Each structure stands twice: as C-alpha cells, then as structure tokens.
C-alpha cells in the first residue's frame, strides 16, 4: 500500500497504532483475526506465555473505569511476556491537574513501548498517537462515544468462529446505539468484512435514523429488527452518558426492547447472542437468554484475550 494518511498505518500499510476500525483495510482486520486464532490455544497450555513482547513495556492508562477490558489487556500483555504497568489514574498526577500529553511525555521517558489508552473524551488516543516517538505504539481501549476497536475485533472473531463467512450474515445491534462506541466500531468492521446486512435496533431516542448513513438499516421495533437474524449483539443502557430523559424507565425499556427467549425465536434457529458487557439482566436481556444455548457471551471474553494479544504483538512488530 502506498503512502496513506491513515494514522494507524505506516508507509507500507502495516498497523502501528490501533485507534479505530474505521478505515482499517480488510486485510489488516483479517490479519489480526488470523493472528488471534494462533493465540487461542495459549489459554490451554500449562505455561500460558509466549516471548513475543519480552523486554517491552506496556502501560495501561485507563482514565475511565473498566474491569473486563483492563483485565484482558493485562492478561494479554503478560502472556506476551511484556512488562506491564497499570496506572491508578485516580491517584495519578493527571488527577492533580497534569495534562494528558505531559503524563504521556513523562511515561515515555520511562521507556514505554506501548500505551493502551481508555479515555472519556473522543479522540484522546489519536492525540496521544500524534505525540509519541516513532517506536512507541498506541492501542485505543475505548474513547468517548467514538471507538472501541479491540471490542469490535473480538466481536468479529466470535462471529467468524461460529458463522465462518460474513457475506451471508444478517447482524442486528440492539439497544443504546446512540451512546455506544462498540456499535460504531462493529458497524465499520462488519461493513469492511462484507456482512450481508447490518441492522441497528432500538427506540428512536437511542437508535436514530442517521445510522443509516453508516450503511445500517434502522429499526424501532425489536421483533421486526431481529427477524431472521444470524447474529444479535445486545448493548447495555449507558445511563452515565445520557443527558435528559431518553427513556421512561428501565422496566418500560425491557418490556419493549428486552431480549427474551420468546423474542429470540424471531431470529434464525442457529442465531448467536452476543454482548460486550457489563450485562444488565432484566434490562436489555433476560437471564434465560444470557445463560441459554445460543449465548456466546462468555466465549467472547475468552476470545478477547487472544485478540488483544494479536493487536499488541502486531503493532509492536511494525515501525513507523
């Protein structure tokens, strides 16, 4: 690939930062998924380590609360034999007024090789990527409403694992799409991988019609939206990002948009149900679905470690 303005790629089209699924070439996404498949078996070994990042320092900077994402990045970097440092941001200099870029500069002086950044402001990981040295790499662990690329990639891995080919699939993303960086990243990745049809489903306040501009069909009726779907990705209500009353109540939401076993029958018999977590049982999804035979929510978490191992090892192997 010739010179490209994409800040995630070097002049050879290789991945140096993972900031978004938007604009990632199909071959790069496929390379990440193929690499992840090689790491899945590491989980079954007695010694769960490979030496690919031995001697490298990975700094996990989580400016937003996270359990699942932070823990899986910790595990992924450790299994790659990196030296892993997870900062307590609430006690860091940033909490005392230091700017994000000053924090990055100081950590870079400690010989950081990879920054994993989760931030409440959209674009923060891009800003970091613009100000690090050429040998330092940035992986976005979620920024504002904008992007969550590793979650989308583990979603793509999960779908490919169970469904093999994207071209014939109908995928529904259900719930609070408006506030979801996962939904945006999933839509970009699904379109790039050639999914047959991508739908977003939710109340008008949380699934606005402008998602059609991203190539998704918009539905405001759950049963119609998931009819004959192969994959259903459920999203939680992000109350912390909502301003004003976008919903009457969580009970009313579940009555209209909660995924129950009865509603799931509208989808294809072999449809899989996914969720990026954390799950709110009885709000967006019924416990019987979470724990049912069509749920692949726990395998998603397992695959997430392998996908994050793939992302870290690939960016670390490419120079700007």
Residues annotated as binding site for carbamoyl phosphate?
A: 68-69, 118, 148, 151, 277-278
123 sits in the region (left: phi over 0; alpha: psi -120 to 50; else beta) called left
Q: Which of 275, 243, 110 is nearest to 178 (CA)?
A: 243
Q: Residues annotated as binding site for L-aspartate?
A: 96, 181, 236
**C-alpha to C-alpha distance for 129 and 7, rounded to whole angstroms:** 8
Is residue 143 a contact partner of residue 182, using CB atoms and an 8 Å limit? Answer: no
Integer-rounded Cα Rg, in Å, for the chain is: 19
Give the pairing of strands 170-174 and 137-143: unpaired
Pairing of strands 217-219, 197-201: parallel
Which residues belong to the annotated binding site?
Answer: 68-69, 96, 118, 148, 151, 181, 236, 277-278
Query: What CA–CA distance (Å, rounded) separates 303 from 310?
Result: 11
Q: Which of 312, 319, 318 is nearest to 57 (CA)?
A: 312
Report the distance separating Cα 149 and Cα 172, nearest Å.
18
């Amino acid at each position: 690939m010739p010179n490209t303005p994409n800040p995630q790629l070097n002049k050879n089209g290789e991945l140096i930062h993972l900031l978004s699924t938007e604009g990632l070439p199909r071959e790069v996404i496929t390379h990440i998924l193929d690499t992840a498949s090689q790491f899945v078996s590491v989980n079954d070994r007695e010694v769960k380590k490979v030496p690919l990042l031995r001697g490298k320092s990975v700094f996990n900077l989580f400016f937003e609360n996270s359990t699942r994402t932070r823990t899986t990045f910790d595990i992924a970097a450790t299994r790659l034999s990196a030296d892993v440092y997870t900062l307590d941001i609430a006690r860091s200099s940033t909490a005392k007024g230091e700017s994000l870029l000053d924090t990055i500069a100081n950590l870079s002086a400690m010989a950081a090789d990879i920054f994993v950044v989760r931030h409440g402001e959209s674009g923060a990981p891009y800003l970091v990527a613009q100000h690090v040295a050429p040998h330092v790499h940035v992986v976005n662990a979620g920024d504002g409403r904008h992007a969550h690329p590793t979650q989308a990639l583990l979603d793509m891995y999960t779908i490919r694992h169970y469904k093999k080919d994207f071209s014939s699939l109908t995928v529904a993303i259900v719930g609070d799409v408006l506030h979801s960086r996962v939904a945006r990243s999933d839509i970009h990745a699904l379109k790039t991988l050639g999914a047959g049809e991508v739908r977003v489903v939710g109340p008008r306040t949380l699934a606005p019609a402008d998602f059609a501009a991203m190539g998704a069909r918009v539905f405001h009726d759950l049963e119609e939206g998931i009819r004959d779907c192969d994959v259903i990705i459920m999203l939680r209500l992000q109350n912390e990002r909502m301003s004003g009353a976008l919903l009457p109540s969580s009970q009313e939401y579940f009555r209209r948009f909660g995924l129950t076993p009865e509603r799931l029958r509208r989808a294809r018999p072999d449809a899989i149900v996914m969720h990026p977590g954390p799950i709110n049982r009885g709000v967006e999804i019924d416990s019987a679905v979470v724990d049912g035979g069509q749920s692949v929510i726990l395998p998603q978490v397992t695959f997430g470690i392998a996908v994050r191992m793939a992302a870290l090892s690939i960016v670390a192997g490419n120079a700007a």
